[in-house]
Chain A
Amino acid sequence: DGGITQSPKYLFRKEGQNVTLSCEQNLNHDAMYWYRQDPGQGLRLIYYSQIVNDFQKGDIAEGYSVSREKKESFPLTVTSAQKNPTAFYLCASSIGYRGQETQYFGPGTRLLVL
């Protein structure tokens, strides 16, 4: 089955620790995105990538980093510089990067700070 997978489902971070959230898709989509969702809020864009080896900052990129070495994979690292990382993180992809392309979402990862 084609789709987007995110792992782990739950992730715990200690103070000062970097953690990496995985996002993999087998839809052969060129574009991938990371969003953050806080309670009672909509999603906010962290980073996006239109093509392999290229990515751009979204609205709330501070404290996060990404890589796009393979078309299928777009991991997100939450660094120690992110002071309030507790949130639900959603990865999405679309076949292309133009505005009309629908974004499809993975099941999400909940990150909690110990």
Chain B
Amino acid sequence: AQTVTQSQPEMSVQEAETVTLSCTYDTSESDYYLFWYKQPPSRQMILVIRQEAYKQQNATENRFSVNFQKAAKSFSLKISDSQLGDAAMYFCAYRGGGADGLTFGKGTHLIIQP
């Protein structure tokens, strides 16, 4: 079974600075997809960014980018120019090439200090 590990239960960053959230995963599959979701206090899960394992290029969405290290099975999220609205729980998630659901890590609580 696949597992996803987020080793940082909580991170804190000053507004406008950069922060990196860590995620590692374990899988024997070659075809898979990785996601970062944000869960603000409203508890709505919002997709932040996704990465296909077959792509070598790291995904980028505005201030959000990933560092995907396939051999190390690492998938970190970098948030640049942190804003107060970025404060939330961030979940790393894995999905294999098949038809079942996502496997989530336990999340990292991101605090933005003004």
Which A residues contact B (CB, under 8 angstroms)?
Answer: 31, 33, 35, 40-45, 48, 50, 56, 58, 88, 90, 92, 97-100, 102-108
Q: Top 4 A-B pairs ranked by shortest CB distance?
A: A42-B104, A105-B45, A45-B101, A99-B97
Total number of B residues with any Cβ neighbor in A under 8 Å? 29
Neighbouring A residues of B32 by C-beta, 8 Å: 99
Whether A98 and B44, one on each chain, are in contact in the complex, defined by CB atoms closer than 8 angstroms, is no
Known: A42-B105, A50-B99. A102 touches B35 (CB 8 A): yes
Per-residue CB contact flags for chain B residues 91-103 toward chain A (1 = under 8 Å, else 0) read 1010111111111
Which B residues contact A (CB, under 8 angstroms)?
Answer: 4, 31-33, 35, 37, 42-47, 50, 52, 91, 93, 95-107
